[in-house]
Amino acid sequence: MSWKYLLFDLDGTLTDSSEGILNCVIYALEAAGIEVPDREKLLQFVGPPLIEGFQDIIGMDHAAAVQATVKYRERYGVIGLFENKPYDGIALALSRLKSQGKVIALATSKPESYAVRILQHFNLMKYFDVAVGASMDESRNNKTAVIKEALRRLGISEDDKEQVLMIGDRRHDIRGAKDCGIVSLGVYYGFAEIGELEKAGADYIAWSVDDMVTIAGAAESQAESKDSDGESLSEMKYQRVDLEQAVEHLKKLIRQQEQAQSGAEQLKIHQEYYRLSDLVSTMYALAMFRHSIDTTDQYYDQEMSYYDEQLPDFELWDMKYHEALYHSPYRGELEKVIGKVAFKNIELQMKSTSPELVELQQEENKLVNEYEKLLASAEFLWNGDTISMAELGKYQTDPDQAIRQKAWTLLQDFLQTNGETLDRIYDELVHNRTEQARKAGYENFVELGYYRMQRNCYDHSQMEQFRKWIKEYWVPLASEVQDRRRRRLGLETLHIYDNGLYYKEGNPAPEGTPQQILQNGLKMYRELSAETAEFMEQMVRREMFDVLSHPGKKQGGYMEFLPLPRMPLIFANFNGTSGDVDVITHECGHAFQGYLAGKDDIREHWDITMETAETHSMSMEFFTNPWMELFFGEAAPEFRQMQLEDAICFIPYGCMVDEFQQIIYEYPELTPDQRHEVWRRLEKQYRPHLNMEGMPFFEKGGFWQRQHHIYSTPFYYIDYCLAQICALQYKLMMEQDYERAWKSYLKLCRMSASGFFTDMIRDVGLLNPLEEECIQQLIQQLSGE
């Protein structure tokens, strides 16, 4: 059975609240002058409604029970509710269930205000879509009434009840579920007596938190799921790869390749390399993904530290293995199978990897991890709630300028407070990467950085020319769009805290819960094409998403491909803005192409360059435009206009990020203050419309420190600009002939990395964004939009 909605009891199911409950019962009994019974009898108070407990367990009449309840709450509301602790593994269990797309609600007999405070205190509230408890006026004072209210708030119809599971530790939970016509799961790690849950009629029994997750997270039967559709993401077992053994395996494969007597023999050996590489890549991706979900999780933090330390050596021997293929006397035979592009990429890999760089790369990994953890640690107090940086983004585009300014000020304060650390990390990264470049024989990191990015069909001199065209031709177009936005907002000038707001009444926001957004995504892709239908059904069925934002979660979003199951996964931070839908379009564009590529047995064809990858994702944002009413309702036209304007205005910003990095790495001796000045100077060239007045940290040129690509993946940003040029071409093409545009796009996706970017876009009917004619022609067409 598969359940979409999970209702959780609190006491004895999520938390061990016995200490607080017992102490408050004792307090109430002593106030009433009643002898306190033994602990075993007192434990019966955990679970049922209080008035019922005082009547059934102590023998009070109703009036006395009501008075005892008032006295109980006198202590509980101040002290007792925090004499409490979550069961071991509960936070991870909720995270796993949430990552599967479950809608989770609290249904407790405890007063709702107390229950919410407890969840917030233990940082569990982030997992719950709805929290329902008893009412203080006793109008909702039993489990059946609480469950009915939870179903009402979730909007669950009679037909939907078969998708609901109630999880609790006492007979009251089971009986309440039966009264409401839903299935129940009784847990024995709480306070139930043996046999209590079966006698009450529990449909399922769990003896541990792990058992509970296995049952609650079941998709069909486990056997059916694994046999027909493959494991879900949460079911995929992670196991650390012994990279020292993996290196020894690579050494053996190198010897075998060097001794091979034919191309056919080498290709057979290469299949064994695929198996090793698939294992390493999959386990690393799972560790990275689970660490991204919770950067405070010590286990996966240690796993990432292990890979940061060990992967550079493995990558060195991986390069030596490919070097053996590169110098093979049978290279012609190999190229016929794995392609010429693969050998160009091997050449770039050889230019960017050497034994002398391993220690520096290990240190680089640690610095990047330190930066990512610093951003993930950001917490902001907003109207009494603690929110993450991603959640703050919602308020940065609020229609109320005062709220926007407050949100941007909080972000500025975080960056400024951590300014010295951010400067120190980046300074160490710049000097580390510069030393790598010089040890590898390059003047500076720019050339090495391009090799690391596998720029296999253009160089940085072409990027410089591209940026000049953007300054000359594109910035004026973007400035016109920005001025149109300013007039629409009724502002005299666009401040930094007006950045990203497109309409006076607020940007279009998606309708519905995260689960509904995913379900609408499934409907959209089912209608778009047979290929996208198959892809999205697998993504949803196997729960390959983690999209809910919470403190401790890594910022941003990404798609990662898992070679062993040949499935993509998507990581994101929903925050109630249009960016949530971008996940279903942009990241799913990456994932769709990855899903198609996974059908190709030649792994080298999976290794697409970043501008190609971003063309897949950014183009999908436009191909899905006809379905935006599913997400935005009547505001869909405004969303489409905002999307186009944002695409146009992004390109100068992306070029600015690229030019900033080129300057920094060409002049690594610049001080942190000088780097900030470089950014501010570039902002005036690429974003002349933006007023930083009143924001001293941004005014001095500090905005770039929140752009994690600059720290984590140098020179990975101009790719978005090239891709956006291609995506805009597809937008214009589909307006003339959607079917022709889709066939072209599908062809590009299936080509994967079988060709060079500049050749492939020509083959599918697009102009090369590295040519002046393309930029000028596109601007002319867009000016009429």
Among 660, 656, 674, 703, CA closest to 411 = 703
384: tokens are 């009494």
Which residues are within 8 A (CB) of 193 and not within 5 positions of it... i.e. 6 or more apart?
Answer: none
- Please count the other Cβ atoms lying within 10 Å of the Cβ belonging to residue 1: 13
Active-site amino acid positions: 9
302: tokens are 């240690």
* Residue in the block written with tokens 């393309």: 774
What's the rounded Cα separation, in Å, for the pair 264 and 259? Answer: 13
Helical residues (DSSP H) of 327-452, grouped into ranges: 331-338, 340-352, 358-376, 389-396, 401-417, 419-439, 445-452
Which residues are within 8 A (CB) of 150 and not within 5 positions of it... i.e. 6 or more apart?
Answer: 7, 105, 106, 107, 130, 132
Angle between helices 718-736 and 772-782 (to 10 degrees): 50
Q: Judge contact between 642 and 508, C-beta under 8 A.
A: yes
> Which pairing describes strands 558-562 and 494-495: parallel, antiparallel, or unpaired?
unpaired
What's the rounded Cα separation, in Å, for the pair 726 and 650? Answer: 14
In degrees, rounded to 5, the angle at the alpha carbon of residue 639 between the alpha carbons of residues 399 and 411 is 45
What's the rounded Cα separation, in Å, for the pair 773 and 724? Answer: 16
Helices (H) and strands (E) in the chain, counts: 37, 15
Q: Which residues pair with 165 in a beta bridge?
A: 6, 183
One-letter amino acid identity for 484?
Answer: R
Among 558, 590, 550, CA closest to 574 = 550
In degrees, rounded to 5, the angle at the alpha carbon of residue 421 between the alpha carbons of residues 417 and 423 is 105
Q: Judge contact between 440 and 357, C-beta under 8 A.
A: yes
What's the rounded Cα separation, in Å, for the pair 364 and 359? Answer: 9
- Side-chain-side CA neighbours of 325 within 13 Å: the count stands at 31
Which backbone phi and psi does 330 adopt, to 5 degrees?
A: -110, 25
* Residue in the block written with tokens 């401040």: 495
Q: Judge contact between 309 and 242, C-beta under 8 A.
A: no
Using CA atoms, how far residue 179 sits from 147, 172, 442, 464, 621, in Å, is 9, 10, 74, 70, 46
